[in-house]
Structure 1
Amino acid sequence: MAEKENKHLYALVGKNISYSFSRGYFTEKFKKLALKNHEYINFDIQSIHELPQKIKENKKKLKGMNVTIPYKLEVFNFLDKIDKKALKVGAVNTIKVTKKGRLKGFNTDVYGFKKSLKPLLKTHHKKALILGTGGASKAVAFVLENLGIKYKFVSRNPEGKKQISYLEITKEIIQNTHLIINCTPLGTHPNTEVCPDIPYKFISNQHVLYDLIYNPSETTFLKKGKEKGAVTKNGLEMLELQAEKAWEIWNDN
């Protein structure tokens, strides 16, 4: 009984997440650290409104959660407190369960993206296109702002001055925008042949194409960039960095 009560449980909150990186990563981490009383599971829910019940069922042992598509924005309404940075970003991907059982939201995507992007940047990387407008794109935009890189979101249904449609991406835009970040799920396993609809023929060796997707390790988006001489990077390092940051937060007393 005592062993059960000392169990430390962590979970990934998302939808259709059987493929998830987090569970495998943390399960492996717990093995390496010989943390036998630690477990990481998936809260695979069809609606964010199922979350309170999942938390209630695991109340005594739940210590922390990661949040993925499509709940990084919706989860705000279920938190007791939100870290200042996460509030500014407008998205939460890490939740700490305090000793009193309160839920505090953080954003570790910002840390992971910034640290993995910076080594790729050169002085001509002054403008960026962010493909997609979901929770992860908010963290990307926050980092770019922080680095002094101007950006525009690309959306199928653009709203406001900061967003353009895929149809509006001209040769001139591509030739003057040397950083392109894919924050959409297009190209994720098993639908690996698809990719964001941008004019790849204008990509050059001046470009950096960064894909938040990590499975497959080289998406069609990255392949097309590489063919044109661009520097390419997938999202694995970002995920690992944000996971380690989450672990730090969960263990910070």
Structure 2
Amino acid sequence: MRKFGLIGKKLGHSFSKKYFTDKYEREGIADAVYELYELPGVHELPKLLQQEPELLGLNVTVPYKEQVIPLLDELDEAAERIGAVNTIKISNGRTKGYNTDYIGFRDSLETFYPEQERKQALVLGTGGAAKAVWAALEAMQIPYLRVSRQEGEGQLSYRQLGPEILATYNLLINTTPLGMYPQVHEAPQLPYSYITPQHFVYDLVYNPEQTLLLQKAAAEGAKTLNGLPMLQGQAEAAWHIWNS
């Protein structure tokens, strides 16, 4: 039996196990299972690999996407450039890290944000997921600014977001966990009244389907998308890597 799985700190609301279990059933894949591995710290990974010698691939979720890198034998070029790993291929006892978040986000954004509408993007958050988003925006030649609590070089603070900025940046991407279940009443501190029907708002959170951010943006007429298409895309890309 081929074994795959997900490592992270808290996996109670994991998308991956249901996605892959349904995929195996739908496609008649009878020789594969997908398990959840909650690790109290990323340093537990080598022990897990010893205990589970049948493992051929892992997905990696928060907070280990960056922390896992020093524990791997090798990095794919894109993962090295991005500085975050969400997929590990295990072959002959060696581990290689990849970033399929980048692929899932890029492909879903291509559909959601039409070329003729493209201006510039604001990326909320600076963690591992944000790094994959930055790389995809660069590949698509979409200029962007980072938004965080503190301002810095190439980075605005939330309090700097006024009408002029929102008029120039018509794509807003939330890479933070704000609004994720069970904290569904939270949302990034944006000046929502400056969001218009010309805006595209992409929230990487997928549970709930309509976060408070997306609800507020939709109320101003913006086009909205949650993180489900990105998740599906990154999962399929991971499956391709594990089986190639």
Residue 131 of structure 1: aligned partner:
124
- Partner residue, 2:193: 201
Structure-1 separation of matches of 2:21 and 2:112: 30
Q: Give the C-alpha shift of residue 11 in structure 1.
A: 1.1
2:26 equivalent to 1:40: no
1:120 CA displacement: 2.4
Which residue of 143, 148, 158 maps to 1:150?
143
Counterpart contact for 1:126–1:148, Cα < 8 Å: no
Task: Kindly provide the amino acid, as one letter, of the partner of residue 190 in structure 1.
Answer: P
Over the aligned positions, Cα root-mean-square deviation in angstroms equals 1.2
Q: CA deviation at 1:36?
A: 3.1
Return the match for 2:69 from 66, 73, 76.
76
Counterpart mapping for 1:9-158 below 5 A: 9-59=3-53, 61-98=54-91, 100-122=92-114, 123-158=116-151
Q: Determine helix, strand or coil for the equivalent of 1:74.
A: coil
CA distance in 2, matches of 1:150, 1:46: 38
Aligned: 1:171 with 2:163: yes
Distance 1:126 1:36 in 2: 46
TM-score (norm 1): 0.93
2:132, 2:60 → 1: CA distance?
Answer: 13
Q: Which amino acid aligns with 1:227?
A: A
> Aligned partners of 1:201, 1:153: CA distance in 2, in Å?
20
For 2:21, give the aligned amino acid.
T
Q: CA deviation at 1:153?
A: 1.1
In structure 2, what is the equivalent of residue 230 of structure 1?
Answer: 222
The one-letter code sitting in structure 2 at the alignment partner of 1:199 is P
* Matched residue SS, 2:78: helix
Match of 1:3 in 2: none
Instruction: Extract unaligned runs of 5+ from structure 2.
Output: none
Q: How many Å apart are 1:125 and its aligned residue?
A: 2.2
In 2: Cα distance, 1:46 partner to 1:202 partner = 42
Deviations 1:33-73 (A, max 9, x none): 333331111111121111111111102x1000001111111
- Aligned to 2:196, the other structure's residue is in SS state coil
What secondary structure, in the 3-state scheme, does the structure 2 residue paired with 1:174 have? helix
CA separation in 2, counterparts of 1:43 and 1:157?
Answer: 34
Query: What percent of counterpart residues are identical?
Result: 45
* 1:191-241 Cα distance to aligned partner (Å, 9 max, x none): 111111111110001100001011111111001111111110001011011
1:189 to 167, 174, 181: 181
Instruction: Using the TM superposition, give the Cα deviation of residue 124 of structure 1 relative to its aligned residue in structure 2, in angstroms.
Output: 4.0
**Residues 125 and 177 of structure 1 are in contact (CA less than 8 Å); yes or no, is this contact kept in structure 2?**
no
